[in-house]
Amino acid sequence: MVYKTYYESPVGKLFIASDGENVIGLCIEGQKYYLDKIEKQAIEEDNLKIFDKTRNWLDRYFKQEKPEISELSLMPEGNAFRQCVWKLLCEIPYGETITYGDLAKKVAEKLTKPSMSAQAVGNAVGHNPISIIIPCHRVVGKNGSLTGYAGGIDKKIKLLEIENVNIKNFFVPKI
C-alpha cells in the first residue's frame, strides 16, 4: 500500500509518498518526472508517523536548521547505479555544491570503475524520487551553471539560498 500527503513549502506544494514506514517519494508539484502515477494510486493519509517526521524535518530545513537526512527512513526505488548516486548525494554537506563531473568520479570510485559518464550520473540525479531530502539541488555544472533540476532552476536557486550558498558564483544558462 502507498500513502500520500502534501506539504506547503517556500518552493511550492510538495507531494510526499510512503509505504507506511519509509519515505518513497517527495517532489515539487509540476516538476519534471513528477510521481503522478504513484500520486494517483496512493491513499491520502496525513497521520502516518513517517509523514509527521517528514513534515517536522521539512519545517526545520526551511528554517535553515540543517536536519540530518538520517533522521528519516528513506526508500527510493531505483537500480543499483541510481541508488549509488543518490547515496552519494546524501553525503554533500549543507551549503556546499559538487559538479556533475566530480560526482561522476566519486560514483566511479564507489563502483570500482576507471571512469563514469557525468551525463549518466546527471540522469540519475535528475530522476531522484526524494527531492530536497536527497539533495540533488546541490549538483551544478563544472562551469558554474545551474542546470538540471527537475523542479525548475528557480526552485534550485531558492533551495541553495536557503542553505546560504553564494549563488553569485553560478549562472543560469541561456536556452
Which pLDDT score, from 0 to 100, does residue 149 have?
80
C-alpha torsion angle, residues 146, 148, 149, 150 (rounded to 10): 160
Task: Assess whether pLDDT exceeds 80 at residue 37.
Answer: no
Residue boundaries of the structural domains of the chain = 3-71, 80-169
Name the CATH topology of 80-169.
Answer: Arc Repressor Mutant, subunit A (1.10.10)
Categorize the per-residue pLDDT at 26 as very low, low, confident or very high, splitting at 50, 70 and 90. very high
Which pLDDT score, from 0 to 100, does residue 151 have?
82
pLDDT digits (tens, 9 = 90+) for 65-76: 999 999 999 999
Categorize the per-residue pLDDT at 175 as very low, low, confident or very high, splitting at 50, 70 and 90. low
Contact residues for 39 (Cβ-Cβ < 8 A; gap 6+): 4, 15, 17
> Which CATH number applies to 3-71?
3.30.160
Q: Is 136 a residue of the active site?
A: yes
Kindly name the residue from 27, 84, 90, 136 that is annotated as catalytic: 136
Categorize the per-residue pLDDT at 31 as very low, low, confident or very high, splitting at 50, 70 and 90. confident
Q: What is the DSSP letter of 174?
A: P
Which pLDDT score, from 0 to 100, does residue 33 have?
66
Kind plus residue range of the DSSP H or E element containing 43:
strand 43-44
pLDDT digits (tens, 9 = 90+) for 81-92: 999 999 999 999
